[in-house]
Structure 1
Amino acid sequence: MKALINDYGNSIKLTRKKKLIYNFKRDAPLYLLLLLPMTYLIIFRYAPIYGVVMAFQDYNIFEGISGSEWVGWDVFKFIFDQNGFYRALKNTLVLNVLDLIAGFPAPIILAILLNELRHVRFKKIAQTVLYLPHFLSWVIIGGMVYLMFSSAGMANTVLTSLGFAHIEFLSQKINWLIMYVAIGVWQNVGWGTIIYLAAIIGINKELYEASDIDGCSRLRKMWHITLPGIKPTIIILLILQIGRMLSIGFDRPFVMGNSLVSEYSDVISTYVYRIGIGSGDFSQATAVGLFQSVIGLIFLLTANYIAKKVGEQGIW
């Protein structure tokens, strides 16, 4: 009996092995295409993880990682005693929360409105115009913002010519916050709209046909069909956005910030740039980056866990 069971198990293993070889030969071109992105991930994403050990060293650029002195958690203790770190952390959270509040619903609303347009040509032109800013560098956008909204910019020239008061868009703190969030929404809303439009296309058209028979208005169809249809996409993107609450790009706050609003514009990315590149303290810069990544992972896992608990579809 044992011999029969062993023979049966061996035959299953041989069958699986033959199936694996067959699948590999059949999909060999796809595996070759996959080789390039996998190589990129290994070289530029996974291999640099070794450099995380600098966060636990008194790193010396001349000695390298292998020759630098190991100091354990001393670098983190030093960072957590710095007021500048807590200011950068607070500003990062504040700016990301404002981006979440203003920027996350914007592409959803815009995608639903574009989906309701009946003029196909105008719809295509509007989509192109809306997502074009996504491909502009923040350096270019920063120059445009300065020309438009600086003290001697076009906006203030128009305001003063109409008899209104001069407004400091980029040097007063509250005005700068409004401009930062508004420009961010303008730059990203078109790209997010594409994602939600793709999700809307996947909704069953028979639902809209049935609602037309029942006499539903366009507003009720948007509320009861379109929004529930893209709800899984909204949840997944919201989880990912929450996971990036401590991650903030360097170029946007650096380009739009200035010394007059540094109390708000100094974020973790600019802080890391200042202490890592400016001061040459790579241990501190690595430690801050590691802290940022760990807290971001905790946010991501927590958001995904809450989504699953309330009955929504998570990332996994």
Structure 2
Amino acid sequence: MRIPQRVRELPLHLMLLPGLLFVLVFSYGPMVGIAMAFQKFSVTKGLFGSDWIGMDNFRYVFSLPNTAGVIRNTILIAVMKMVAGLIAPIAMSLLLNEVRLRSFKRIVQTVVYLPHFLSWVILSGILLDVLSPTSGLLNDALASVGIPRVNFLGNERWFPFVLVGTDVWKEFGFGTIVYLAALTGINPALYEAAVMDGASRWQQTLRITLPGILPVVVLMSTLSLGNILNAGFDQVFNLYGPVVYSTGDILDTYVYRLGLVDFQFGVATAVGLFKSAVSLLLIASSYGLAYRFANYRIF
């Protein structure tokens, strides 16, 4: 007797059940709290007893003098991270692709990939020591060549660039592996034909390598567009301080202080909802642009 397909696939559907429950409980369940964005939330009255105030929380938060600066910082830092996080792994993968000593290549891959597995709590402790204005290794090196010491984590001008640089250092190893995998998919016959035509290594890179990995570049760029309002809470929270709020404060840390420090839960929820709505629009737009200009599809 032939077993129906839905019966044969039942074990596969059951395997999805734990993941589905996890998403429902921890992703969709908390969305009930979105109601706080439209309430004058009171801990004593609870979610269903607090007074409804419509859009007042949104009007209030956008009337605050710091909000415009926080949004500007978030977009600026996120865009710089996106650009640097795209260029660095592509350059590294192209360089590693030219290495013929496989053992050295593997060692370098391991070294650059290692920071990806470390949390920002650990890395922030390391960076605080390395970038210390009095005893940090970087400032000691600058002082040894006659350059004045710089308080990288306490200087408004330098802090955004420290965020971008340390983020690239942590994550570019992962992107490098992605692009190295894409490079293996390029037909070697194209390089052989280019050599016979007299093309240099640089010309081969421009005419064959870069066009060959373009779909992956488009994919990574598209995925990163959805994070344009996500400048990295873990990193900023562990590295910033009040002295660099003017250039280092982002939406996520702003929400943290409004909600958990100032106990303005409704206002903090309104900021978080605004961020989520804009991110959704950006993700949808980015996939549409990727399909239109690069013929990229997610299925």
Please indicate, yes or no, whether the TM-score normalized by the shorter chain is above 0.5.
yes
The answer to whether residue 36 in structure 2 is matched with residue 58 in structure 1 is no
Q: Which residue of 2 aligns with 1:98?
A: 80
Match of 2:207 among 198, 212, 224: 224
- For residues 79 and 314 of structure 1, the distance between their equivalents in structure 2, rounded to whole angstroms, comes to 38
Which residue in 1 is equivalent to 2:51? 69
Q: 2:185 aligns with which of 190, 202, 208?
A: 202
Question: Displacement, 1:123?
Answer: 1.0
The offset of 1:87, in angstroms, is 1.6
Match of 1:167 in 2: 150
Instruction: Tell me the residue number matched to 1:83.
Output: 65
Q: How many residues were matched structurally?
A: 298
Work out which of the residue numbers 101, 106, 121 in structure 2 matches 1:119: 101
Alignment-mate amino acid for residue 39 of structure 2: Q
Residue matched to 1:42: 24
Q: Which residue of 1 aligns with 2:278?
A: 295
Deviations 1:120-177 (A, max 9, x none): 1111111110110111111221111111111112222333344332223222222222
Partner of 1:244: 227
Distance (Å, rounded) in 2 between the aligned partners of 1:213 and 1:157: 51
- Partner of residue 276 from structure 1, selected from 256, 259, 267: 259
- 1:82–1:187 Cα change, 3 Å: same
* Residues 158, 206 of structure 1: alpha-carbon distance in 2 compared, 3 angstrom cutoff: closer
> Tell me, which stretches of 5 or more residues in structure 1 are unaligned?
1-17
In the other structure, the counterpart of 2:115 is 133
The TM-score, its normalising length taken from structure 2, stands at 0.91
Letter in 2 for 1:44: F
Query: Bigger shift: 87-96 or 58-67?
Result: 58-67
Distance in 1, matches of 2:261 and 2:35, equals: 21
The alignment yields a C-alpha RMSD, in angstroms, of 2.1
| Greater Cα offset, 119-128 or 228-237 | 228-237
Deviation at 1:81, TM superposition (A): 0.7
User: What is the letter of the counterpart of residue 24 of structure 1?
Assistant: R
Contact 1:273 1:285 in 2 (8 A): yes
Per-residue deviation, 1:239? 1.6
Query: AA paired with 2:286?
Result: A
Alpha-carbon shift at residue 311 of structure 1 (Å) = 4.6
The 8 Å contact of residues 55 and 284 in structure 1, kept in 2 or not, is answered as: yes
Equivalent in the alignment of 1:3: none
The structural deviation recorded for 1:53 is: 1.3
2:91 corresponds to: 109
1:259, 1:171 → 2: CA distance?
Answer: 9
Aligned amino acid, residue 170 of structure 1: L
Q: Hey, what's the Cα distance between the residues in 2 that align with 1:239 and 1:24?
A: 35
The aligned residue for residue 139 of structure 2 is 156
**Is residue 150–residue 168 contact of structure 1 (8 Å, CA) maintained in 2?**
yes
Structure richer in helix, relative to its length: 1
Q: Find the residue that maps to 1:169 and give its secondary structure.
A: coil
Distance 1:35 1:216 in 2: 54
How far apart, CA to CA, are the structure 1 residues paired with 2:141 and 2:156? 22
Query: How big is the shift at 1:286?
Result: 1.0
Query: Shift of the alpha carbon at 1:314?
Result: 4.9
Amino acid in the other structure paired with 1:245: I
* In structure 1, distance between residues paired with 2:71 and 2:139: 33
Q: Which structure has the larger Rg?
A: 1
Q: CA deviation at 1:212?
A: 4.1
For the residue of structure 1 that corresponds to 2:267, the secondary structure is helix
Residue 249 of structure 2 corresponds to residue 266 of structure 1? yes
- Give me the whole-angstrom Cα distance separating, in 2, the residues matched to 1:158 and 1:138: 24
**Higher mean Cα deviation, 79-88 or 271-280?**
79-88
Match of 1:193 in 2: 176
Query: Are 2:191 and 2:208, in contact at CA under 8 Å, matched by a contact in 1?
Result: yes
Rounded Cα–Cα distance in structure 2 between residues aligned with 1:46 and 1:91: 29
CA spacing shift, 1:157–1:112, aligned 2, 3 Å: closer
Name the CA distance, whole Å, in 2 between partners of 1:26 and 1:311. 38
Where does residue 253 of structure 1 map in the other structure? Answer: 236
Q: Deviations over 1:255-288 (max 9, x none)?
A: 1212221111111011000010011111111111
Return closer, same or farther for 1:144/1:33 CA change in 2, 3 Å cut-off: same
